[in-house]
Amino acid sequence: MKKIVCFGGGKAMPKVILSELKKHPFKITSITSMLDSGGSTGKLVKEYGILPMGDIRRHLLVFSEQNQEIKDLFAFRFKTGEFAGHSFGNLFILAEYLRQKDFIRAIKNVSDFLKIKENCECLPAILEKTNLFAELENGKIIKGEDEIDVPKKHNGNLKIKRIFVKPMVKTNPVVLKRTKEADLIILGPGDLYSSVLACFLPQGIKEAIKETTAKILFICPIMEKFGETNNFSVLDFSKEVEKYLGKKLDFVLYNNKIILKNKLKIHKKTEPQLLGQVKVDKNLDKARFVGKDLVLIKEPIFHEPKKTIKEILKFI
């Protein structure tokens, strides 16, 4: 079996990559940064001291072979009362963590309950709590994945100069092992700083990336995002990724389908933080940069999973 390692959290990675990739005979490892600080996850982290579980919950669910009733229950989110905003899946993981007093064992037991596919596994990038920070171009430091993801207390027009974690923590040893053994490493799609690059901040991961013989593929976002990637082009994305990896990307897959202005206008009503379509630079190296129509035919503006996986299979 080819060994595929996928880095990224949020909703994009499980929806676009994992949902389709799992149908093929590969050994798939998905890795989340464990730096989520908003919503239900953020509340549970503060109250119980557990590692953030929101992103890994989504990965577990997409790999699940359980019946649909159980999967729907796991995805259920309370709308009113004391548990308003919390998802049942987050509370389930929390209960197992409090019972086991061990996050890895809790995730293993939740994986067994959800009947995760035999060839799939979900791993946390770190096993200790830390915080994500960003330094802006004016020198101001902002704290928290939630604030970086959607600016509320800072000016989102200011460019992010760098991101870092504090305190510094070590990368999960199993993640290092899987990275070194991989045949292909897939980065994204997802928010650049708060989802993808956050995975490469802990100690040890850059060294593992340098040692691996795996080809590294970056799935470039379709849209610019306010507060993170204002006015970014495909080349801007790839250069920023290479800066944090400490290694050149082998391939960059990007969308070259022009999105109609009317569609952009409609999409921005529901996703106001998404600005415009990512610009495609002229004279990109065609040996490394592959442009394809990757967009869903209808709203929202999102990677179409089948189109995207079709291209990924060519790299594999």
Average pLDDT of span 107-114: 96
> Half-sphere exposure of residue 226, counting CA atoms within 13 Å on the CB side?
13
Average pLDDT of span 7-36: 94
For the chain, state the CA radius of gyration: 19
Instruction: Tell me the whole-structure pTM to 2 decimals.
Output: 0.95
Average pLDDT of span 255-276: 87
Per-residue model confidence (pLDDT) at position 298: 78
Q: What is the pLDDT of residues 179-208, one digit of tens each?
A: 999 999 999 999 999 999 999 999 999 999
Average pLDDT of span 81-91: 94
Angle at 78 between CA 76 and CA 82, to 5 degrees: 150
Express as a percent the part of the chain with pLDDT over 70.
Answer: 100
Per-residue model confidence (pLDDT) at position 69: 97
Average pLDDT of span 234-243: 98
Average pLDDT of span 218-233: 96
Per-residue model confidence (pLDDT) at position 262: 85
Q: What is the mean pLDDT of the chain?
A: 95
Q: Which two tokens stand for residue 287?
A: 């040996």
Average pLDDT of span 80-85: 92
Which amino acid, 125? Answer: A
What residues does each domain of the chain span?
2-123+171-315
> Worst-scoring range by mean pLDDT, 12-16, 272-276, 288-292?
272-276
Is 135:112 a contact under the CB 8 Å cutoff? no
> Worst-scoring range by mean pLDDT, 174-178, 263-267, 309-313?
263-267
Q: How many CB atoms lie within 10 A of CB 91?
A: 16
Per-residue model confidence (pLDDT) at position 39: 87
Q: How many CB atoms lie within 10 A of CB 41?
A: 26
Average pLDDT of span 118-134: 96
Residue 270 has pLDDT above 90, yes or no: no
Residue 260 has pLDDT above 90, yes or no: no
Average pLDDT of span 23-50: 93
Q: What is the pLDDT of residues 68-82, one digit of tens each?
A: 999 999 999 999 999
Per-residue model confidence (pLDDT) at position 301: 86
The domain defined by 2-123+171-315 carries CATH number 3.40.50.10680: yes
Per-residue model confidence (pLDDT) at position 259: 87
Average pLDDT of span 264-289: 91
Residue 299 has pLDDT above 80, yes or no: no
**Which residue's structure tokens are 């593992």?**
208
Residue 269 has pLDDT above 90, yes or no: no
